[in-house]
């Protein structure tokens, strides 16, 4: 990959990640079925990539690697289920913006778990993301479906932040594609008991949306991301992946007539700007937002 093609691959990956909520809404199936199907198709796509395109050698897993991948798979399953619940309850735009809060959680949890000093720009990230979420919230009534959906989306962001930190702790030994494949296997096994009774009722068109979600928004997007990071800096990747909510909201606006309010758009701008500015001001010791986005 040249830097130019790697940058293009990152934008394609960000677009695919942004379509996650769109395919989830198109599929008229429960979140458990969607997540189970996504994991199955993602395992197939990642296996093909690992076999034919990845240059990383797979590592023999130690006991601590197995425990960490199991925990990561459980967190990934919770992250996906809560995200698709948010999509079903509140729509793609609110779910995507609520999930975009995860960098703020990462800053706070990173300081607690890894005992790292929180820098001034990271404090501003937390403050601005919090302001953005307040603006995005349609109203503060828990009886409102939109507010409930936003809370599910924020919970999804929290779980994704924990997943990112779990992956960071094990990234020195297990290659990213191997880790993603193992975690998707865990997701599929976790959701199988809940999804199995419903599988016979899933329509063929819904399997198409779920297949696209697993192959393109998970397997291919992750593979493009990993390949491009060999050429592109993580800081650049962070800026590109900050476009994910923009792509998702634009597609939902076009396909589902989800017209965001001016206040919601302003909140989205604040959240995205906070992520971009923080990634540009951040040091090199921490993985960028884009690096953390590889499993969404």
What was the pLDDT predicted at 52? Answer: 72
Q: In the structure, what pLDDT confidence band is assigned to residue 285 with cuts at 50, 70 and 90?
A: very low
In terms of pLDDT, which residue wins out, 190 or 274? 190
Q: In the structure, what pLDDT confidence band is assigned to residue 234 with cuts at 50, 70 and 90?
A: low
* Least confident residue range of 121-125, 128-132, 214-218: 121-125
Please tell me the number of Cα atoms within 13 Å of 228 on its side-chain side. 30
Q: Distance between CA atoms of 161 and 99, rounded to whole angstroms?
A: 10
Give Cβ neighbours of residue 132 (< 8 Å, ≥ 6 apart).
97, 101, 267, 268, 269, 270, 271, 274
DSSP codes of every residue in the chain: --HHHHHHHHHHHHHHHHTHHHHHHHS-S-HHHHHHHHHHHHHHHHHHHHHHT--PPPPPPPHHHHHHHHHHHHHHHHHHHHHHHHHHHH-HHHHHHHHTTHHHHHHHHHHHHS-PPPPHHHHHHHHHHHHHHHHH-S-S-TTSHHHHHHHHHHHHHHHHHHHHHHHHHHTTTS-HHHHHHHHHHHHHHHHHHHHGGGGGG--HHHHHHHHHHHIIIIIIHHHHHHHHTTTS-HHHHHHHHTTHHHHHHHHHHHHH-----HHHHHHHHHHHHHHHHHHHHS-SSS--HHHHGGG-
What was the pLDDT predicted at 180? Answer: 85
Q: Contact, 238 vs 288, CB < 8 A? A: yes
What is the mean predicted confidence (pLDDT) over 128-156?
79
In terms of pLDDT, which residue wins out, 195 or 102? 195
**Residue 284 reports pLDDT greater than 50:** no
What is the mean predicted confidence (pLDDT) over 231-256?
77
* Residue-wise burial string across 75-102, b where 16 or more C-beta atoms lie within 10 A, e elsewhere: bbbbbbbbbbbbbbbbbbbbbbbbbbbb
Q: In the structure, what pLDDT confidence band is assigned to residue 291 with cuts at 50, 70 and 90?
A: very low
For the full predicted model, state whether its pTM sits above 0.75: yes
* Least confident residue range of 77-81, 204-208, 227-231: 227-231
What was the pLDDT predicted at 122? Answer: 72
* Least confident residue range of 232-236, 263-267, 281-285: 281-285
Six-digit token pair at 51? 């076999």
Q: Distance between CA atoms of 78 and 74, rounded to whole angstroms?
A: 6
Query: Rounded mean pLDDT of the chain?
Result: 81
Q: In the structure, what pLDDT confidence band is assigned to residue 238 with cuts at 50, 70 and 90?
A: low
Burial class (CB within 10 angstroms; exposed 0-12, middle 13-18, buried 19+) of 152: buried
Q: In the structure, what pLDDT confidence band is assigned to residue 140 with cuts at 50, 70 and 90?
A: low
Q: Distance between CA atoms of 296 and 293, rounded to whole angstroms?
A: 6
Q: In the structure, what pLDDT confidence band is assigned to residue 109 with cuts at 50, 70 and 90?
A: confident
Q: In the structure, what pLDDT confidence band is assigned to residue 159 with cuts at 50, 70 and 90?
A: very high
Q: In the structure, what pLDDT confidence band is assigned to residue 142 with cuts at 50, 70 and 90?
A: low
């Amino acid at each position: 990959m040249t830097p130019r093609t790697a940058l293009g691959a990152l934008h394609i990956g960000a677009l695919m990640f942004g379509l996650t909520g769109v395919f989830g809404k198109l599929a008229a199936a429960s979140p458990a079925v969607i997540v189970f199907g996504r994991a199955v198709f993602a395992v197939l796509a990642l296996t093909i990539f690992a076999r034919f395109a990845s240059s990383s050698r797979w590592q023999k897993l130690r006991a601590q690697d197995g425990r960490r991948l199991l925990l990561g798979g459980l967190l990934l399953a919770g992250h996906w289920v809560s995200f698709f619940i948010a999509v079903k309850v509140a729509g793609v735009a609110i779910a995507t913006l609520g999930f975009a809060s995860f960098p703020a959680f990462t800053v706070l949890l990173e300081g607690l778990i890894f005992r790292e000093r929180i820098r001034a720009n990271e404090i501003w990230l937390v403050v601005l993301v919090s302001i953005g979420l307040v603006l995005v919230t349609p109203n503060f009534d828990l009886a409102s479906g939109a507010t409930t959906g936003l809370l599910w989306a924020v919970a999804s962001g929290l779980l994704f932040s924990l997943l990112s930190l779990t992956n960071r702790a094990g990234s020195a030994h297990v290659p990213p594609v191997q880790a993603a494949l193992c975690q998707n296997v865990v997701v599929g096994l976790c959701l199988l008991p809940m999804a199995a009774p419903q599988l016979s009722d899933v329509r063929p068109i819904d399997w198409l949306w779920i297949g696209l979600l697993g192959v393109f928004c998970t397997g291919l997007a992750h593979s493009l991301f990993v390949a491009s990071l060999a050429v592109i800096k993580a800081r650049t990747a962070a800026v590109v992946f900050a476009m994910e909510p923009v792509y998702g909201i634009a597609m939902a606006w076009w396909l589902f007539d989800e017209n965001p309010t001016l206040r919601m758009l302003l909140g989205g701008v604040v959240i995205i700007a906070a992520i971009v500015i923080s990634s540009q001001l951040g040091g090199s010791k921490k993985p960028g937002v884009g690096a953390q986005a590889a499993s969404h």
